[in-house]
A and B are shown apart, each in its own frame.
Chain A
Amino acid sequence: MKKVEAIIRKSKFSGVKKALHEVGVNFFSYWDVTGLGNEKEGHVYRGVSYSTSDIQRRYLSIVVNDDFEEATIKAILTAASTGEVGDGKIFVSQVDEVYRIRTGEKGGNTLK
């Protein structure tokens, strides 16, 4: 099993969600994050310009069976891209075990 984590633009979230559903990924968690990166956002407040490196993004955490890994990554790469700096990152890592709390069963079946 794999954990696919993605940091994406908030504006791309609904597109990514739809693309994930289309490849059969229906369960995942997400939350809003603030981070630092290459992108600088220019602001002006009362005549003083300032740039904030605090970048607002949405963080997705998706655990999938190995045969879903490629489709999941492809869905995010396509749906989250604008081609500009700041589109985000995808991290993939190995997951040792998964349990379903309600029944106590474990393994890949719990992700279906």
Chain B
Amino acid sequence: MELLTINNVWMMICTALVFFMHTGFAFLEIGLTRQKNTINILFKNIFIITVGLLLYYIVGFNLMYPGEGFNGFLGSIVPGIAPPENGMTAEYADGGYTWWTDFLFQGMFAATAATIVSGAVAERMKIGAFMIFTVVYVGFVYPIAGSWQWGGGFLSSLSIGDAEGFYDFAGSTLVHSVGGWAALVAVYLLGSRIGKFNNGKAQAIPGHSIPLATAGVLILWLGWFGFNGGSVLSANPEATSLTLVTTCLAAAAGGVIAMITSTILYKNLDLTMFLNGILGGLVGITAGADQMSPEDAILIGAVAGALIVFAVSLVDKIKLDDPVGAIAVHLICGIWGTLAVGLFGAKAGFDQFLVQLIGILCYGAFCVATSFIIIYTLKKTMGIRVSEREELEGLDAHEHKMDAYPDFRLNEH
């Protein structure tokens, strides 16, 4: 078989794995929230993957990969997609995949950023407002942010001393922090769920299906084989194998350290922290999965696992209500993973660390500003929060007029 065929098959498998991650996100989110909001969360997840893909076709792909003559900051809006002349030959992308696969693989990534926000705003945000936010954020903010690095923009050529450009292999910053920053802004503007803070103290609002949350995390881990493995952008044997090894070791280390940390701090074996630790490790390794030795990967994952436990409690302390821990997992560990490229592995060095820091700040500023403008505008016009009654009785009953489990009793809390 010719190399392009082999490469392309691997990349299509990875595309399918990244698609499957949406199942994982959906399971995790509904598992960690209450049953009265299950339809609402699933609806958002299905909206994100369908509309996100169409938006990526309409504007996203061209905005994110402007090609020749890109000014480095803002691509142009060219509706639709059309393959270049050599798009299906080995000349395209060094023979790593065909142009069609390129579009679909990147399209699967695009929706992920909005899914991260979905979990953080769960159980209290108006679905209409969330849909509008998703359209603007996935359609425009994500591709513009992505173009700065993966589209050959200014961050990819930002050189300081020995460091040649910002580095984010599969998206600790470009995907996870981009979603995480918006989650932070959205949670701040939205306020906490009724009953989350009582006399200034954080209360537990247990999720309704820990088995689903567990399945979600394992599915996400499987999806990460494609997320990171596909980011090699070919089936290069050495690079793909190393990437999968570092990815899995970081996930394992993240889970174990989160488990140990939370057990020491809280004296109970909390499965949800164990699960979040795995995700933290995965997000953490994503920026440098192809640059690390197995030992580096374990260290990066371990730090991420500990960070998760402290970050979840920090988010509670500053009175932000993030039901699924999206800020801790995607923002905090996304930042950690991006900085880790300057601390561990083949690119480690002070100059690289500095470039990574600049990149993080650029993305932070852009994402906070854009998501604040979008959500604040929505708040002042159509409103972003459901009524108290809707929130207490559940978004399923009011926004959707449906029950996720019609044969089961509904808990009143």
- Which A residues form the contact surface with B (CB < 8 A)? 43-50
Contacts and interface: CB of A to CB of B under 8 A. Distances in A.
A46 B325 CA distance: 9
Contact of A47 (B205, B206, B266): B266
Nearest to B196: A48
A4 B267 CA distance: 42
B203 A46 contact: no
A101 to B, nearest CB: 28
24 contacts: A43-B204, A44-B204, A44-B267, A44-B268, A44-B270, A45-B204, A45-B205, A45-B206, A45-B270, A46-B204, A46-B270, A46-B273, A46-B312, A46-B325, A47-B262, A47-B265, A47-B266, A47-B312, A47-B313, A47-B316, A48-B204, A49-B204, A49-B266, A50-B204
Given A45-B205, A49-B204, 20 more contacts: A43-B204, A44-B204, A44-B266, A44-B268, A45-B204, A45-B206, A45-B270, A45-B272, A46-B270, A46-B273, A47-B262, A47-B273, A47-B309, A47-B312, A48-B202, A48-B203, A48-B204, A48-B316, A49-B266, A50-B204
The 3 closest A-B pairs by CB, nearest first: A45-B204, A44-B268, A48-B204
B273 A50 contact: no
Contacts of A44: 204, 266-268, 270
A49 B204 CA distance: 7
A44 to B, nearest CB: 4
A46 B33 CA distance: 13
A50 B309 CA distance: 18
B203 A50 contact: yes
Query: Which of B204, B206, B270 gathers most chain A CB within 10 Å?
Result: B204
Query: Which of A44, A45, A46, A47 gathers most chain B CB within 10 Å?
Result: A46
A4 B306 CA distance: 54
Contacts of B325: 46
Query: Which of A43, A44, A49, A50 gathers most chain B CB within 10 Å?
Result: A44
A38 B267 CA distance: 24
Contacts of B203: 48, 50
B207 to A, nearest CB: 8
Contacts of A47: 262, 265-266, 270, 273, 309, 312-313, 316
B267 A46 contact: no
A16 B273 CA distance: 39
Nearest to B276: A46
Contacts of A45: 204-206, 270, 272
Contacts of A49: 204, 266
A48 B312 CA distance: 10
Interface string B285-298: 00000000000000
A50 B203 CA distance: 7
Nearest to B267: A44
Contacts of A48: 202-204, 316
Contacts of A50: 203-204
Nearest to B210: A45
A1 B262 CA distance: 56
Query: Which of A43, A45, A50 gathers most chain B CB within 10 Å?
Result: A45
Interface in B216-251: none
Nearest to B198: A50
Contacts of B206: 43, 45
A43 B312 CA distance: 17
A50 B205 CA distance: 9
B309 to A, nearest CB: 7
Contacts of B267: 44
Contacts of B268: 44
Interface in B245-290: 262, 265-268, 270, 272-273
A47 B265 CA distance: 8
A81 B277 CA distance: 42
B217 to A, nearest CB: 14
B248 to A, nearest CB: 25
A53 to B, nearest CB: 12
A67 B270 CA distance: 52
A82 to B, nearest CB: 23
B198 to A, nearest CB: 10
B374 to A, nearest CB: 29
Contacts of B262: 47
A43 B309 CA distance: 17
Nearest to A44: B268
Query: Which of A44, A48, A49, A50 gathers most chain B CB within 10 Å?
Result: A48
A29 B267 CA distance: 40
A44 B269 CA distance: 9
Contacts of B316: 47-48
A51 to B, nearest CB: 10
A47 B328 CA distance: 13
A31 to B, nearest CB: 13
B339 to A, nearest CB: 24
